[in-house]
Chain A
Amino acid sequence: MSNMRIVDHPILGKLEERPAVSFTFDGRPCEGVAGDTIASALLAGGIRMLRVQEVTGTPRGLYCNIGHCCECRVTVDGKPGVRACLAEIQPGMIVESGKPLPQRKELAPHA
């Protein structure tokens, strides 16, 4: 797992120590720090794909990071449609990526 955390910063200083928070993403064990959003914790671990477009299945990730675009919707502890950029990670949280919805064959996009 890559670490994209910015520990030293010339103006903001050294990153303060924050307790680690463990959660899972699609069953994989992940770790962030207290105060992370789901999106920031996953990005720190190099994970960017948060869901797929419900019809086409093409990958999607965080876009606006302010809860406005709703591109980062994930399922949290069984609750769908949670914006990963606003939700704070909690110990033991079960996060699942957004999956394609079942499609009626005649409506499915042409491959």
Chain B
Amino acid sequence: MLDAVIVGAGPAGLAAAIACREWGLQVVVVDEFMKPGGRLLGQLHQEPDGRWWNGIQETAALLDRAVELGADIRCGVSVYHVEKAESGFRIYTSEETLLTANLLLATGAAETPLPLPGWTLPGVMSIGAAQVMTNVHRVRAGHKGIIAGINVLSAAIARELQLAGTELHGLVLPALHPLTAAAGHPRKVMESLLRIAHLAPSFWIRAGSRFARAGWVRSLALRFYPRSGVKLWGLPVHLRKALVRINGVDQVESVTLSDTTVDGQPVPGSEQTVDVDFVCIAGGLYPLAELAAVMGCPFKYVEELGGHVPLHNEQMETPLAGMYVAGNITGIESAKVARAQGTVAGLSIAARALGGSEQIKLQRQLAEALHHVNETREQATIQFHPNIAAGRMKMAEAYQEHVIRQ
């Protein structure tokens, strides 16, 4: 019987493994991908102080420490089922079935797909797919592309594609339909775009962030939004153009764009064809929580956290004794927050697994780790969802209510 199985070798899983190993627990980390790091691997952006956040280096630092401590990290292994065993959990993997007293789900996030006509053509991929191809595999997604979906993630990755020398036509909205109601509506998109205003050198966006708090200003700003788009790192961002169709026979050959009204409706006769050989769809991230659902863990939908999230408290405990969550499965935030949460989860597991004599020291470390999560959250440069703190509060309340009801 293992002390802990950690599903996911991203920043949360690796940090948790380190904390567990520092307390001498027997821990196995499994990850479907062939190398550890998760989505941290692909990250590359400049911090406000000018330094580069390089996901490959950040991963290497975590991995070196985990390996040094003797963590058993198994890559290329899929977990396809989990169930309750007499005194813990049975974890079914593509290699063997593991028995463990504690289980940490650090499965991260997936991207919300935005269906568009022609989106099944080869050459259409999620923006995260292009990021991993570019920064991890060092392969271009294509010769020239376009991004459908304007949000924090797509803006950051557009910059990464540009850094790698990949030509982009720019960022446009997905055509408005019931499944793109938020991502395809210019005003809603502008609201979220204002949150990355500090990353944009453009005066317009800065001015916008100061003045566009009132709804009518946003409408006005959208009405006068330039046809050529507003430049973000030299890349045109078109809040008044929508991708209506992806064209091609065996793969992407072009896209059809349309001008839109302030409300995202296509302007008749404004269709235009642009030759591209790849399309990135950027619908944003949501917590990847299937395994928690399989375990019967209660969930709560919290928009600020990015979707349906397994109930959990600040210590990363779920209502199922011995099952923990950390990282983006608990809500969409930066890799730094995920890493800090991983440490908390690892220490919480150690506190459960180890006997009394170590508790004082453990609880002190746990308190410090919790403080570090909050500090990291407050200092975050990129916020994927507004009001993350409010979202966390909602989750804390929901967890409390659940505990009281039981």
Contact = CB atoms under 8 A, between A and B. Distances in A.
B125 A6 contact: no
A50 interface: yes
A49 B44 contact: no
Nearest to B42: A65
Interface string B109-150: 011010000001111111011001111011111100000000
B120 A12 contact: no
Nearest to A45: B139
B123 A61 contact: yes
A55 to B, nearest CB: 13
Nearest to A18: B138
Contacts of B165: 6
Contact of A59 (B33, B164, B250): B250
A5 B122 contact: no
B211 interface: no
Indicate the size class of the contact surface on chain B: 35 or more
Secondary structure call for the A interface:
loop
Interface in A1-55: 4-7, 9-12, 15, 35-37, 40, 43-44, 48-50, 53
A43 B137 CA distance: 10
Nearest to A65: B129
A64 interface: yes
Nearest to A63: B125
A101 interface: no
Contact of A5 (B32, B78, B139): B139
A99 interface: no
A44 B97 CA distance: 36
A67 B34 contact: no
Interface of B: 32-35, 39, 44, 52, 54, 56, 76, 78, 110-111, 113, 120-126, 128-129, 132-135, 137-142, 163-165, 250-251, 288
Counting contact residues on chain A (CB < 8 A from B), the size range is: 35 or more
Nearest to B56: A12
Q: Name the 5 nearest CB pairs between A and B, nearest first.
A: A61-B122, A65-B129, A40-B137, A48-B122, A4-B140
B64 to A, nearest CB: 18
Contact of A60 (B122, B133, B142, B288): B122
Contacts of B122: 48-50, 59-62
Given A59-B250, A65-B126, A67-B32, 7 more contacts: A12-B135, A49-B251, A63-B124, A63-B129, A65-B132, A65-B133, A66-B39
A106 B13 CA distance: 50
Given A11-B44, A86-B76, A63 B126 contact: yes
